[in-house]
Amino acid sequence: MKTSTPRLGFSFGRLWTIGRNTMTEVIRQKFFYILLVFGLVVIASSRFFAQFSSAEQIKFIKDFSLAAMTVFGALIAMVGTAELLPLELENRTIYPILAKPVHRAEFLLGKFAGMAMLLLLTILLMSLIFEGLLLYTEHQLLAGAAANASAPGAEVSAQEIAGQILHQTRDPALLKAIFLIGIKALIVCAISLLISTFATSVIFNVISSVIIYICGHLEAGARQASLGDQSPIVRGLMLVVAFFVPDLSAFNLADAVVLGQHIPLRLVANTAAYGIFYAAIALALAILIFQEKEI
């Protein structure tokens, strides 16, 4: 005789519990500290490489720091996520968790949420260092500009130079660029989690994620190049790659920010929606595979 019992609905409470624990778990791993500290040092060191004029100096810091945030964000996402599921399976810590009334989807999404929170915190920390560096440089350049402008024979007024400096350091486009770096890291995280549901080793996962990451950056260029190609095979291949691999170069606003171009909010919103869509598809596939996986 079967009893009629209430269904166990999806719970954000359980997801949050797993997510919070995942954060603690990753924070305790050495690779995280190494990558984070290295990323922060790289951003901070951009100040010492920049031996140019005031405008060039700020451009260099912005370019260098945004690139460092992109690379270290992606690295932490790849390495951290690649280990999440294999570690649970290897240490079998997943057994007592799934032996509780926990849906597998909650477990997997909890793992993603934990890693996503950590990534956002990491990017926030790197952004704070970057912003601090910009403000420090701004302060120094403003002082230097004031001294130069007050010198006899100065062609540009101190106010004018200050305006140019502030225009570059207080550029709201910086926030848009950092926001899309965060979204890109989340896509990498979701793809890595998807691979870990069927990958046989962490190394395989990391290598696959790196290949997808590189393909994602080359995709737009290759698509452009293939437009002129008459071969249906090449065009078909590009279509398949474009379907399965997200165009990660679309998330790179560093060049536009450095050049001081206007970045419409609509473009940022559309790119973010595109990224979230890809991440959602990757997570849905990961859940489908994980549901059938024998632990």
10 neighbors 105 (Cβ within 8 angstroms): yes
The residue within the footprint of another protein, chosen from 43, 97, 257, 258 (CB under 8 A), is 97
Tell whether residue 289 is a contact of another protein (CB under 8 A). Answer: no
Nearer Cβ to another protein, position 18 or 35?
18
- Which one among 1, 151, 233, 265 touches another protein, defined by CB under 8 A? 1
One residue of 30, 48, 92, 231 binding another protein per CB under 8 A: 92
Q: Which amino acid is at 246?
A: P
Q: Pick the piece of the chain touching another protein (CB under 8 A) from 14-22, 121-129, 132-140, 217-225.
A: 14-22
* SS3 (DSSP) at 172: coil
With contact defined as beta carbons under 8 Å apart, do 15 and 113 qualify? yes
Residue 295 near another protein by CB under 8 A? yes
Among 71, 100, 116, 148, binds another protein (CB under 8 A): 100
CA–CA distance, 292 with 295 (Å, rounded to integer)? 9
Q: CB-based contacts of 199: which residues, under 8 Å, 6+ apart? A: 82, 86, 205, 208
Cα angle, residue 81 at apex, residues 80 and 86 outer, rounded to 5° = 100
- Joined together, the tokens standing for residue 160 give 């004018």
| 165 to 13, 135, 144, 213: CA distances (angstroms) | 47, 10, 11, 35
Determine which residue in the list 13, 152, 232, 264 makes contact with another protein, applying CB under 8 A. 13
Instruction: Indicate whether 3 belongs to the interface with another protein (CB under 8 A).
Output: yes
Q: Which of residues 15-44 bind another protein (CB under 8 A)?
A: 17-18, 21, 24-25, 28
Q: How far apart are CA 275 and CA 251, in angstroms?
A: 8
Of 55, 67, 98, 117, the one binding another protein (CB under 8 A) is: 98
Least separation in angstroms between residue 99's CB and another protein is 4
Q: Assess contact for 268 and 180: CB atoms under 8 A.
A: yes
- Asked if 12 interacts with another protein (CB under 8 A), we say no
Binding site for another protein (CB under 8 A): 1-3, 5-8, 11, 13-14, 17-18, 21, 24-25, 28, 91-103, 292, 294-295
